[in-house]
């Protein structure tokens, strides 16, 4: 956890992917088609407290949201839903803080929070 805060002193963005070194930043997979994943995930995200959906682009599987922190900073979050095969989808998250200062690990925590909610609500589909 301290490592995340130290990294966050200098970095104001974080993202997930298959090649992430940190296991908590690896892409999450669900056993459902991209269309079903889109419906489910968009519905879950709309109910998350403190987050506001700005754009939804279903044909490319992208949802853009923002979150205001207690310190008044705004974080821009992009959720990417990709069909990876028949009945299987991957979800990646990119989170960035506006402004020039580091985020003290806030983007990392936002990604963990979103994945935590998705994994809990979609536990039956977790791959």
| Full pLDDT tens readout for the chain, 127 residues | 555 555 555 668 889 999 988 999 999 999 999 999 999 999 999 999 999 999 999 999 999 999 998 778 899 999 999 999 999 999 999 999 887 676 777 889 999 999 999 999 999 999 9
Other Cβ atoms within 10 Å of 14 Cβ, number:
27
Residue 124 DSSP symbol = G
If we measure between CA atoms, which residue out of 78, 90, 104 comes closest to residue 26?
Answer: 90
Q: What is the Cα 25 distance to its own chain's centre?
A: 10
pTM over 0.75: yes
Strand partners, 126: 30
Rg (CA), the chain: 14
Spatial distance between the Cα atoms of 118 and 102, rounded to a whole number of angstroms:
26
19's tokens = 């090649």
Domains along the sequence of the chain with CATH: 2-125 (3.30.310.220)
């Amino acid at each position: 956890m301290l490592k995340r805060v130290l990294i966050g002193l200098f970095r104001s963005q974080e993202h997930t992917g298959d090649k992430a070194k940190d296991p908590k930043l690896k892409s999450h997979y669900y056993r459902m088609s991209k269309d079903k994943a889109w419906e489910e995930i968009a519905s879950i995200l709309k109910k998350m407290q403190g987050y506001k959906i700005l754009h939804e682009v279903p044909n490319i599987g992208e949802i853009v949201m923002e979150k205001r922190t207690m310190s008044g900073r705004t974080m821009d979050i992009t959720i990417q839903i990709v069909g990876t095969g028949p009945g299987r989808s991957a979800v990646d998250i990119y989170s960035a803080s506006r402004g020039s200062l580091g985020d003290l690990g806030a983007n990392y925590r936002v990604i963990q929070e979103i994945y935590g909610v998705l994994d809990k609500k979609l536990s039956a589909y977790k791959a």
